[in-house]
Amino acid sequence: MKFDYDLFVIGGGSGGVRAARIAASEYGARVGLAEESRMGGTCVIRGCVPKKLMIFASQAGAAAAESRGYGWQGAGEGRFDWAEFHGKLGRELDRLEGAYTSGLVNAGVEVHMQRARLHDAHTVELADGQRLSAKHILIAVGGRPQRPDIPGKELGLISDDLFTLGQLPGRVLVVGGGFIACEFATILQGLGSATVLAYRGDAVLRGFDGEMRRHVTEQLRAIGVDVRLGTNPARLDREGAGVRVSFEDDSSEIFDAVMFATGRAPYTKGLGLEEAGVRLGRKGEIAVDEWSQSSVPSIFAVGDVTDRVNLTPVAIREGHSFADTVFGARPRKVDHRLVASAVYTRPHELATIGLTEEEAEAWGPADIFVASFRPMRSLFAGSDARAVMKLVVDAETDKVLGCHIFGPEAGEMIQMVAVPMGMGATKADFDAAIAVHPTLAEELVTMRKPARRVGAANMDKPAASA
Ligand code: NDP
């Protein structure tokens, strides 16, 4: 049977664009791609990229304060101009979107800027009614922010809205305690909004190392975010120009804006997946095997829509591996076990890879090495902010199983730690590296004695230590 395309990709985000580009340019496949919104997807348009630029903007005030500690008189006495920043941000996103589109076009991909849905196992239907056939279809539509199911939820903003605000709220409530809540609380506070973070748990960032979670919670408070633990909104009501938030403990308060950062869900609704026989999981995610293949052999899926590890570089790797496997005859699976990530908070970032202390304790025995100190740079400027670095080491094999860093440029450091850890490095390998002095990262290779040993002997080692 003759198809219109060898591959049709639904979704022009990180995973879909990479798969389309590699299939077309490296392997000569005839590729079509549909995107209903803007090319670049969540990461480029309403996620990682604009978020990081907003983090830089929010850090600038703290940097000015630090420079005063170094003798620069009057630094930071101006005010932040949201309109100017926002206009510049918009132009940068336009530039990036253009680069994504031209990358695809130059690779020979036919781009359709409209919504597409599945018609059957080999056919997609575009919003204008056109039907296009393809030997393979890749779903890479990502996820969407979720609001909690409470009365008045539509009065709350989601992360997408933060990039298009006309003005910054004077007083804002951020709901949630995950990546997005912590990062946006940091941004909003840093740009001048009085920020309250309400989280239902007992320390932000569930799933991260416990000691680090407690430290990030404290440090968010130290920069001025009003972190309220064990707190959750029960309803929202419009009151004047603001929003009255009634909490589960019956208290209530008015905010200029409320932002829900209460998780994201796969964007699978209305795509015609179930009708085409594609099996979905409990959260609506597309169930795929290790080759990103769905229950329908011609249909594959990569990125957040599969709800595996919801990070841009993972989606990119999945998209690339899919193209190599299906079009390049180079079968490649993605190893999801040892993925580093970073949360861009202030005063420092939190970056992490591998097992937490709690996970190690469950499998043990593991030695926990910890360095906690005030970095020279901020200390001199008069800040009490502490950096914490932690290595989780298999007490039997000496293998480094986990690394957690709360410190300046922690994201940059963890990227490099990922290399030796991926190679199975031991603590002795770390120690063999001669320190670069004076740096923060030297702490990672100069931790002499464990702070404690956790966990009992257990023959079933966790996947990360395999
Ligand atoms: P997360 O899953 O990280 O956090 C969701 C938060 O919302 C949790 O604190 C959760 O609480 C809370 N929550 C969920 N449902 C409710 C509810 N009904 N009422 C109150 N609170 C609720 O999601 P995010 O939206 O922060 O981020 C989504 C994903 O995006 C991340 O998992 C990450 O993979 C990715 N991301 C990565 C970034 C990075 O790499 N720097 C930055 C931003 C996003 P509880 O913990 O109690 O369940």
The pLDDT tens digits of the residues spanning 402-446 come to: 999 999 999 999 999 999 999 999 999 999 999 999 999 999 999
Measure Cα distances from 465 to 134, 317, 325, 391, 460 in Å. 41, 22, 27, 13, 10
Q: Which domains does the chain have, with CATH numbers?
A: 5-144+265-327 (3.50.50.60), 153-262 (3.50.50.60), 348-452 (3.30.390.30)
Amino acid at 28: G
Q: Distance from the CA of 264 to the center of ligand 1, in angstroms?
A: 7
Q: Find the Cα–Cα–Cα–Cα dihedral 397, 399, 402, 408, rounded to 10°.
A: 140
Q: Distance from the CA of 261 to the center of ligand 1, in angstroms?
A: 6
* Segment 48-55 mean pLDDT: 98
Output the six-digit token pair for 119: 């018609």
Q: Which residues make beta-bridge pairs with 400? A: 393
Output the six-digit token pair for 100: 């994504």
**Whose structure tokens read 């990682």?**
48
Question: What residue owns the CA closest to ligand 1's atom 38?
Answer: 179
Distance CA 355, CA 461 (A): 11
Does any ligand 1 atom lie closer than 6 A to the CB of residue 262? yes
Distance CA 168, CA 193 (A): 7
What's the pLDDT tens digit per position in 175-224? 999 999 999 999 999 999 999 999 999 999 999 999 999 999 999 999 99
* Ligand 1 atom nearest residue 204's Cα: 9
Is residue 465 scored above 50 in pLDDT?
no
Check: CB of residue 142 under 8 Å from CB of residue 12: no
- The pLDDT of residue 237 is 98
* Segment 101-112 mean pLDDT: 98
- The pLDDT of residue 76 is 82
Burial class from Cβ neighbours inside 10 Å (0-12, 13-18, 19+) for residue 13 reads buried
Q: Find the Cα–Cα–Cα–Cα dihedral 98, 286, 204, 369, rounded to 10°.
A: -90
Q: Distance from the CA of 145 to the center of ligand 1, in angstroms?
A: 9
Measure Cα distances from 428 to 177, 243, 446, 447 in Å. 36, 56, 10, 11
Ligand 1 test: best mutation among 43, 44, 150, 180, most atoms within 8 Å of CB?
A: 180
Give the end-to-end CA distance of the chain in Å, rounded to a whole number. Answer: 45
Cα dihedral sign for 217, 223, 229, 234?
A: negative
Q: Distance from the CA of 226 to the center of ligand 1, in angstroms?
A: 19
Q: What is the mean pLDDT of the chain?
A: 96
Does any ligand 1 atom lie closer than 6 A to the CB of residue 264? yes
* Ligand 1 atom nearest residue 150's Cα: 18
DSSP 385-425: PPEEEEEEEETTT-BEEEEEEEETTHHHHHHHHHHHHHTT-
Q: In this prediction, what percent of the chain has a pLDDT beyond 90?
A: 95
No. of H helices and E strands in the chain?
A: 12, 22
- The pLDDT of residue 75 is 86
Q: Is 336 annotated in the active site?
A: no
What's the pLDDT tens digit per position in 370-414? 999 999 999 999 999 999 999 999 999 999 999 999 999 999 999
- The pLDDT of residue 458 is 52
151: preceding bond cis by omega (within 30 degrees): no
- 78 pLDDT tier (thresholds 50, 70, 90): confident
Burial class from Cβ neighbours inside 10 Å (0-12, 13-18, 19+) for residue 240 reads exposed
Those residues with Cβ within 8 angstroms of residue 27's Cβ, 6 or more apart along the chain or in another chain: 323, 327, 328
Angle, helices 312-327 vs 14-21, to 10°: value is: 30
Burial class from Cβ neighbours inside 10 Å (0-12, 13-18, 19+) for residue 131 reads exposed
Distance CA 283, CA 281 (A): 6
Is residue 41 scored above 80 in pLDDT?
yes
3-state secondary structure of 463: helix
Those residues with Cβ within 8 angstroms of residue 251's Cβ, 6 or more apart along the chain or in another chain: none
Those residues with Cβ within 8 angstroms of residue 76's Cβ, 6 or more apart along the chain or in another chain: 61, 63, 64, 65, 67, 68
What's the pLDDT tens digit per position in 297-354? 999 999 999 999 999 999 999 999 999 999 999 999 999 999 999 999 999 999 999 9
Distance CA 399, CA 414 (A): 17
Whole-structure pTM value: 0.96
Ligand 1 test: best mutation among 247, 264, 267, most atoms within 8 Å of CB?
A: 264
What's the pLDDT tens digit per position in 249-268? 999 999 999 999 999 999 99
- The pLDDT of residue 77 is 85
Is residue 457 scored above 70 in pLDDT?
no
Amino acid at 2: K
- 466 pLDDT tier (thresholds 50, 70, 90): very low
Does any ligand 1 atom lie closer than 6 A to the CB of residue 313? no
Measure Cα distances from 357 to 179, 337, 372, 390, 409 in Å. 20, 16, 16, 9, 22
What's the pLDDT tens digit per position in 134-174? 999 999 999 999 999 999 999 999 999 999 999 999 999 99
- The pLDDT of residue 464 is 45
Q: Distance from the CA of 270 to the center of ligand 1, in angstroms?
A: 24
Distance CA 39, CA 28 (A): 22
Is residue 66 scored above 60 in pLDDT?
yes
